Amino acid sequence: MRIILADHHAQPRWALITALQEQPDIDLIGEAIDGQDLLTQAEHHAVDLVLVDRELPGLFIGDLITSLHALEPKPIVVVMSNDFEYSRVLLKAGADAFVSKGEPDWLLEKLHRYSEITNLSGGCK
């Protein structure tokens, strides 16, 4: 599974990078710290999944999700936050999934389950 990680918070981003790089079925092909950087990377790399922080600066999250879904091939957009109150709002805005970023092991488990459900695990990477 080819992933771009987008989070402007350095400490959680580094923890997630470390956790993602340890996964044999995940290819972390980029990291971004703002919405425009994320879009630029996603436009230049075919990615299966974008893992994006809910509070990423630069673009409104709804607009960012719409722009990512307009790409070909269309990546899955998974929004991360520690605030579950926003999950319904983000899902209505077009996010494919919502996960907690506070626990990398839990997040990785959810990513693996999601990739199995959406058939991303086979042939990606």
Residue 113 belongs to a domain: no
pTM to 2 decimals? 0.86
- What are the tens digits of pLDDT across the range 52-85? 999 899 888 999 999 999 999 999 999 988 777 7
Place 120 in a pLDDT band, splitting at 50, 70 and 90.
low
Count: domains in the chain: 1
Residue 112 belongs to a domain: no
Q: What are the structure tokens assigned to 95, written together?
A: 């996010």
Label residue 67 exposed, middle or buried (CB < 10 Å: 0-12, 13-18, 19+). middle
Residue 52 belongs to a domain: yes
Mean pLDDT of the chain: 86
- What are the tens digits of pLDDT across the range 2-55? 999 999 998 888 888 998 999 888 899 999 999 999 999 999 999 999 999 998
User: Which structural domain, as residue segments, surrounds residue 79?
Assistant: 2-101
Distances (CA, A) of 28 to 21, 49, 60: 7, 10, 24
CB 76 within 8 A of CB 118: yes
CATH number at residue 20: 3.40.50.2300
